[in-house]
Every structure is written in structure tokens, then in C-alpha cells.
């Protein structure tokens, strides 16, 4: 995406990438210390992330490991959201 910023707030990125249904839920996820950026636990929804950052997300009982590929400019369809990250989860 040519117009996408270089860095974006983690709560906004989680919402754009469709890991959370609302931005408020994304903020709760981060504030609940269930997100790591490059291995470091974070608790501030305003923390910025950008391409190359590796996120570890604990959503319910699921553990997701993803690499940020793009920041995005909106919360678009699922196909657009999936282009924002690369899953690094081990295959079952």
C-alpha cells in the first residue's frame, strides 16, 4: 500500500489486521499484557509497530506469532487484512 504510514499504533494495527473486532478490544488486549513486540511484553496501546516487527498475541486460548508486513490505511476486507502480516505459527 503506497499511502500507508511507516509506523502505526499497535491497537490500530490489530484492528486493521482483524485480530480484534473493535479498537477498544485491541486496547484491552494490549493493556492486559497479552501482546509482545519483538519478544518484549507491552501494555501501552499507543506503542508503535512497523514492517519487520514480530508480534506474539495471546487471544483467548490461542497463541499467534506474526510478522508485520505493512501498516495499512484502513480496516478493509479480510483479504486486505491478511496482506498486513505473515503468520509465523508452527504448522500443526
- State how far the alpha carbon of 44 is from the alpha carbons of 33, 35, 40, 72, in Å: 9, 10, 12, 20
* Residues facing 57 on adjacent strands: 35, 64
> Does pTM top 0.85 for this prediction?
yes
- Work out the percent of the chain whose per-residue pLDDT is above 90: 87
CB 85 within 8 A of CB 14: no
> Does residue 21 have a pLDDT over 60?
yes
Length of the chain measured in residues: 92
> Does residue 7 have a pLDDT over 60?
yes
Share the mean pLDDT of the chain.
Answer: 92
pLDDT of residue 83: 95
> Does residue 92 have a pLDDT over 90?
no
Residue found under cell 504448522: 91
**Residue pLDDT, tens place only, 31-68:** 999 999 999 999 999 999 999 999 999 998 999 999 99
> Does residue 90 have a pLDDT over 90?
no
Amino acid at each position: 500500500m503506497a499511502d500507508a504510514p511507516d509506523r502505526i499504533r499497535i491497537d490500530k494495527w490489530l484492528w486493521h489486521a482483524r485480530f480484534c473486532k473493535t479498537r477498544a478490544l485491541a486496547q484491552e488486549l494490549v493493556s492486559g499484557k497479552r501482546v509482545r513486540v519483538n519478544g518484549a511484553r507491552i501494555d501501552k496501546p499507543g506503542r508503535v509497530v512497523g514492517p519487520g516487527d514480530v508480534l506474539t498475541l495471546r487471544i483467548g486460548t490461542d497463541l499467534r506469532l506474526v510478522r508485520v508486513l505493512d501498516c495499512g490505511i484502513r480496516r478493509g476486507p479480510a483479504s486486505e487484512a491478511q496482506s498486513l502480516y505473515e503468520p509465523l505459527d508452527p504448522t500443526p
